[in-house]
Amino acid sequence: MPTARIIPCLDVAEGRVVKGVKFRDHRDVGDIVDLALRYRDEGADELVFYDITASAEGRGVDTAWVHRVAAVIDIPFCVAGGIRSVDEAARVLESGADKISVNSPALERPELIAELADAFGRQCVVVGIDSLVAADGRWIVKQYTGKPEATIDAGRETVAWATEAVRLGAGEIVLNCIDRDGVRQGYDLAQTAAIIPLGVPVIASGGAGTVQHFADAFGAGVSGALAASVFHDRRIAIPDLKAQLRAMGVEVRL
């Protein structure tokens, strides 16, 4: 079984790392490079950076900070935010990112996923899905979630969209469960389990609050567990998390 990945998530807005609750009320939590270095030193397996307002604002990622991060860390990192073409993805990768992630741009134009997979290989292409539990219990996809005032329904159901994304060439799915984001009550394992049979690595996102939450996600079959506030606020230290997970039988990189 592949080694379980611990992945801090860094939401970027106006050149700073921020964190909200259920994708709203963002607060400043620090400098991009400072946090990247901290998580590298603590033993993170990967980092994910989301330029959270890029898609809603119709712009691409500012590659200046991607260069700055790439210059100082030696662990893989993924970048997302407004990547709408092969050329834009190439600029991000040439700036030092190891993978690119698309979310709203892929919903705008699904064939983008296939174009990116053809250009860079599907192992380089991550599709992020922002999923909300609707009033009727359905899992539905939201779009432009980086700006609450711009957020809309994407007109798709979560599992159907994930299935299409994999068919088009997504090499990995990050499932961001909006209802769990920042509340530290555990990952939405029902939603996550519905995506795992699609046959690509699945990253659980939204809800980590305890070591047991991480263990539960890996027990459900995810490849990686993404978290933000518990790491930013030092509620859980990555070395302690990995030591406890290993004691619980989860294979992690120490």
Active site residues: 11, 130
Tokens of 90: 């190439």
Distances (CA, A) of 150 to 56, 93, 180: 6, 28, 20
Q: How far is Cα of residue 221 from the mean position of the Cα atoms in its chain?
A: 17
Query: Residue 225 in contact with residue 217, Cβ under 8 Å?
Result: yes
Q: How far is CA 148 from the centre of its chain?
A: 18
d(CA 170, CA 30): 31
CB-facing half-sphere around the CA of 247: CA atoms within 13 A: 8
Residue 57: Cβ within 10 Å count: 15
Helix-, strand-, coil-residue percentages of the chain, each rounded to 5: 40, 30, 35
- Rounded to whole angstroms, the Cα distance separating 224 from 220 reads 11
Q: Which residue has 């994304």 as its token pair?
A: 165
Which residue, 68, 61, 42, is CA-closest to 230? 42
